[in-house]
Structures are given as C-alpha cells and as structure tokens.
Amino acid sequence: MNITFAFYGGLTRRCQEAPLTLTLPDHTATLGDAVAALGDRFPDAWEALERAALAVDDQIVSRRTSLEDGMMVALLPPVAGG
C-alpha cells in the first residue's frame, strides 16, 4: 500500500523530504499506523509527528481513519497564535 505524505512547517526541515511516498505493509490499517511508520523513518521528528494534525482532501481527519492505497496525507504541525 502506497501512502504519500506532504509535510508543512517545521516538519519539512525534520523530515527533509516532501512529498514522501511510503510503501506500507498491507496490515497497516490506520493513519496512526502510517504516522508510526514515519516516526520509525525519522526518529528525530517523532514528537512533532505525534502532535501533527492530519488532513486528507482538505479535511482534518482522525488517526483512526482507515488507509486507502494512493492516499495523500498532509501533516500539519501545531501552531500558536492569538
């Protein structure tokens, strides 16, 4: 299963690849599983990946969202503002 990730904000520096397509095992079921695979690939970015919001088709989605082959996922780091 191929999932493409687009990184934004500080994640672009930490992951150094944008966009990135990962080939994941068929048993990888959710976006949370896919983000864990990213954490394995980029251990220095693990904390930022865990806090990032996930978006698919311009919609914020849960880490429990089921994966689909060819899915494009945007990882959005948290922002502060007032």
**pLDDT by residue (tens digit) across 41-72?**
989 889 989 999 999 999 999 999 999 999 99
CATH 3.10.20.30 fits 2-76, yes or no: yes
Residue 9 pLDDT more than 90? no
pTM of the predicted model as reported, rounded to 2 decimal places: 0.84
Kindly state the DSSP code that residue 66 receives in the 8-state scheme.
Answer: B
pLDDT for 36: 93
Angle CA(17)–CA(21)–CA(25) in degrees, nearest 5?
Answer: 135
